[in-house]
């Protein structure tokens, strides 16, 4: 059987792996955003105690390899919490999200700090509370500033999904390895796998760059008062 025919036979199997990989990426970016943005707000505007807790979270999840985190949660923390039956996919997405959230928190924190103090002062002088000023004045500007940096999380998370094979997630690389072990053809299959990753990377980054252009505000400058 030639390579083209072999790939056609295995195409549905690989396509499912692509969908699982994209599912991990979307879920991880979403969880990371949900965690990272409030964490950044807490780092900039929170009390000393809040900042201390968030700094520990960021230090912990940025300081450990992703593979170690996956093992800790899948074989340790989840079973201890009585969640040993949770699917590897959900554990992988959750851990990728926690890991990415620590990096996203730093991205959003930098964006928040780039907003001039005059923005908060002006909002408060108009009668807004601190929370209202953050929500309606500071955050919209910070999100625009953070978008280019946040977009860089996509290729990072995409490549990180391959590590989830270690807890049994049958994503793209795992399925490529199954084909290799079945057909005894290694290099061509892994080259196809690499090509798929590159295409996913290119399409995702291109889409995020289009989003950046769509939401950009002409004349907007970060940190302006």
Segment 90-147, tens digit of pLDDT = 999 999 999 999 999 999 999 999 887 778 888 888 888 888 888 888 888 889 889 8
Q: What pLDDT, on the 0 to 100 scale, is given for residue 197?
A: 95
Q: What pLDDT, on the 0 to 100 scale, is given for residue 225?
A: 46
Rounded distance between C-alpha atoms, residue 185 and residue 174, angstroms = 15
Q: What is the largest CA-CA distance in the chain?
A: 75
- pTM higher than 0.85 for the full model? yes
Residues belonging to the chain: 225
Which domains are present in the chain? 3-215 (1.10.3720.10)
Instruction: Report residue 208 as tokens.
Output: 């995020």
Rounded distance between C-alpha atoms, residue 164 and residue 69, angstroms = 11
Which residue matches tokens 């593979």? 67
Angle at 201 between CA 33 and CA 221, to 5 degrees: 55
Q: What pLDDT, on the 0 to 100 scale, is given for residue 158?
A: 95
Q: What pLDDT, on the 0 to 100 scale, is given for residue 155?
A: 94
Q: Is 205 within 8 Å of 197 (Cβ atoms)? A: no
Q: Is 96 within 8 Å of 154 (Cβ atoms)? A: no
Q: Is 42 within 8 Å of 50 (Cβ atoms)? A: yes
According to DSSP, residue 59 is labeled H
Task: Output the CA–CA distances (angstroms, integers) from residue 119 to 40, 116, 127, in the order listed.
Answer: 18, 6, 13
Stretches in the chain below the pLDDT threshold 50: 222-225
Q: What pLDDT, on the 0 to 100 scale, is given for residue 221?
A: 52
Q: What pLDDT, on the 0 to 100 scale, is given for residue 219?
A: 57
């Amino acid at each position: 059987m030639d390579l083209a025919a072999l790939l056609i036979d295995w195409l549905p199997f690989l396509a499912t792996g692509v969908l699982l990989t994209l599912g991990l990426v979307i879920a991880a970016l979403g969880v990371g955003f949900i965690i990272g943005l409030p964490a950044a707000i807490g780092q900039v505007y929170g009390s000393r105690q809040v900042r201390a807790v968030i700094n520990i979270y960021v230090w912990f999840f940025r300081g450990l390899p992703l593979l170690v985190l996956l093992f800790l949660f899948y074989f340790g923390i989840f079973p201890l919490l009585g969640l040993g039956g949770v699917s590897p996919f959900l554990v992988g997405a959750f851990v990728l999200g926690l890991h990415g959230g620590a990096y996203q928190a730093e991205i959003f924190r930098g964006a928040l700090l780039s907003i001039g103090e005059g923005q908060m002062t002006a909002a408060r002088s108009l009668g807004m509370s601190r929370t209202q000023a953050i929500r309606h004045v500071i955050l919209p500007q910070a999100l625009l500033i953070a978008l280019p940096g946040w977009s860089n999380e996509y290729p990072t998370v995409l490549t990180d999904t391959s590590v989830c094979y270690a807890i049994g997630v049958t994503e793209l690389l795992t399925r490529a390895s199954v084909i290799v072990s079945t057909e005894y053809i290694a290099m061509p299959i892994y080259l196809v796998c690499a090509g798929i990753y590159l295409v996913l990377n290119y399409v995702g980054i291109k889409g995020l760059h289009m989003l950046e252009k769509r939401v950009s505000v002409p004349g907007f400058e970060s940190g302006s008062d």
